[in-house]
Structure 1
Amino acid sequence: MARQLIDTFGRVHRDLRISVTDRCSFRCTYCMPAEGLEWLPREELLTFEEIERVARLMVERHGVESIRLTGGEPTVRASLSTLVGMLADLPVDLTMTTNGVTLRALAGDLAAAGLKRINISLDSLHVDRFVELTRRDNLGRVLDGIDAAIEAGLDPVKVNVVVMRGVNDDEIVDLARFGRERGVEVRFIEFMPLDADRSWSDGAVVGCDEIVARIAEVFPLEPVDRTSAPATRYRYLDGAGCFGVVASVTRSFCDTCDRIRLTADGQFRNCLFAVEEFDLRSLLRSGASDEDLSELLQGAVAAKWAGHGISSVDFIRPNRSMSQIGG
């Protein structure tokens, strides 16, 4: 019987996010600096075999039910479909978050290897703004990547939008319309204090209520029953699908959080905003037994805070940017 990963607040952790690289082909303003980041040396990255060992342990011994591959940008890791195939052998919901720029070439192979569904980042439909946000001129390739994911049979395909006041919040309705027309579920994400240049302020946050109100002015909506997923979801009354809002700032879902994270260099994190990490890589490379790994995992989860405390005057930002933690 699985020994569930339960913290001191009774939360059971079933959702594992695995970063496979800290590198990325974009330089999104809310995630990475334009230049100056030092990449992890290749030898510090977990191997596919090490990732598979940790994932298998968490699934078979600790009841993890969902695995999401992240980065950086996961598709810049060579032979990613090989890792997908290794993880697809586990009884788990396997998904990935990507910037989508390489999906025309890779979506078919990833789906054939066992990837079930996918989230693709798209923060603007305007070329100039897309370039400003990502520091790359690749909007056309991302849109084509969304089509490629649909054609490959990945289901559902979701589109992630980080909403920032005065930057792209004027596109909320247009992006909702895009989701309706393409048959993808858009997830609007509140801007969180994980930007590399530390320019975040609460004034830049467009909250869930405002996002929903803007869309409801154009498309009649109704809420969908809440699950353990981070997004609060809404259904279009005309049957044209759904959208979601990840309201990490204005409607913290910490009390039901079931997510844990493994960084590309083998550090275990019990929260996206954690300031403490637990070194799995050293154990993996020193001959540790599965029981040794389990003890570290259980202790790390037990140390999880009640909440991230973004609104607290005592809030401490993580010492890594989003690209280094894994989305």
Structure 2
Amino acid sequence: MKITDNYERPLISLRISITNRCNVRCFYCHHDGIIPQEYEMTPEEIFRISSVARNLGVKKIRLSGGEPLIRKDIVDIVRKVSALNFQDVSITTNGTLLQRYAQTLIDAGLKRVNISLDTLNPQTYRCITKKDYLEQVKAGIRSAVEVGLYPVKLNMVVMKGINDQEIWDMFHFCRDQGVILQLIELLQTENCTESDFFDEYHYDMNGFEKELKELSDRVKKRPFMQDRKKYFLEGGEIEVVRPMDNTKFCQNCTRLRITPEGKIKPCLLRNDNLVDLIEPMRRGYSDEQLKELFLEAIDNREPYFQETPH
């Protein structure tokens, strides 16, 4: 089954936030566009949501947070979701607990991992996260590569005056570890709307992308990954993720999100069109009725940034 929204965008992936809890406090965190609440779904509820999504044609599941590895039942969750035979099951993590879990996660069916790390400088890491976990994160990266998770990607949120001067150092670190570097544009969502903060730290990557293009051996577009570009150079890869004011990012979006309290979130940048899934499920909705709620959420999807008619 192939499901598309009213803008002919296929639904390919589902990102499930399984917790709002986190063991670091990054000052820029937008909680994946979700307003934080104290609630977590059970592994069985996550499994059932994933099952309905699988029957709708979803091919990829990403588990995120907060910090997903903070849940003591994370391996059970991965095992249940992986049993549904998705094309891809992955996790986004800050890496602080990854050394402990890498082997058991891949044994449970995890395919790959994205690790959030914005700096290799201990002082800057402490400034961003309020913690001293940098060496644990590096150990987690090594463990992920060693156990065979592939690809391992490192997410670096680039911030003006904080870490923009570290991009090439991070690239060389990633290349030496066998890891792909993803440069993430600082995002402004409905629950993170302080314009002074955004204006102070938002880094315009136009100049850097021009430099990348000139230095790269080749450039590849990923049409079903929001048209983002991958640059191949010096034996490594850099992927650039730029959602802000980017009509191509929105036009090529193929993702739905599930909030920790079990609501379908059609758009990363909006919180006014969510569809509740968990309460109907607890009231005894059938899988067919839950499918209709998914279809309602898909019908709510529209590009946040759209081409302006001339």
Overall identity of the aligned pairs, in % = 35
Counterpart CA distance in 1 for 2:141 and 2:301 is 36
AA of the residue aligned to 1:118: V
Residue 39 of structure 1, CA deviation: 5.3
| Pair 1:255-2:238 in alignment | no
Gaps of 5+ in 2: none
After the TM superposition, which parts of structure 1 deviate over 4 Å for at least 4 consecutive aligned residues? 214-217
Counterpart CA distance in 1 for 2:139 and 2:243 is 29
Aligned residue in 2 for 1:120: 115
Gaps of 5+ in 1: 313-327
Aligned residue in 2 for 1:22: 20
Counterpart CA distance in 1 for 2:65 and 2:149 is 19
Partners of 1:192 and 1:200 within 8 A in 2:
no
Aligned residue in 2 for 1:152: 147
Counterpart CA distance in 2 for 1:215 and 1:8 is 35
1:56-205 matched pairs, under 5 angstroms: 56-60=51-55, 62-92=56-86, 93-194=88-189, 196=192, 198=194, 199-202=196-199, 204-205=201-202
Residue 12 of structure 1, CA deviation: 1.2
Normalised by the length of structure 2, the TM-score is: 0.90
Residue 91 of structure 1, CA deviation: 2.3
Among 278, 283, 292, the residue aligned to 1:281? 278
AA of the residue aligned to 2:7: F
Among 34, 41, 46, the residue aligned to 1:46? 41
AA of the residue aligned to 2:18: V
Change (3 A) 1:77 1:168: same
Counterpart CA distance in 2 for 1:220 and 1:173 is 13
Change (3 A) 1:285 1:308: farther
| Pair 1:227-2:229 in alignment | no
Counterpart CA distance in 1 for 2:239 and 2:200 is 21
Aligned residue in 2 for 1:269: 265
Normalised by the length of structure 1, the TM-score is: 0.85
Aligned residue in 2 for 1:305: 302
Q: Which has the higher contact order (CA 8 A, sep 6+)?
A: 1
Report the count of equivalent residues: 299
Residue 32 of structure 1, CA deviation: 6.3
AA of the residue aligned to 1:269: K
AA of the residue aligned to 1:21: T
Counterpart CA distance in 1 for 2:85 and 2:177 is 30
Larger deviation, residues 268-277 vs 194-203: 194-203
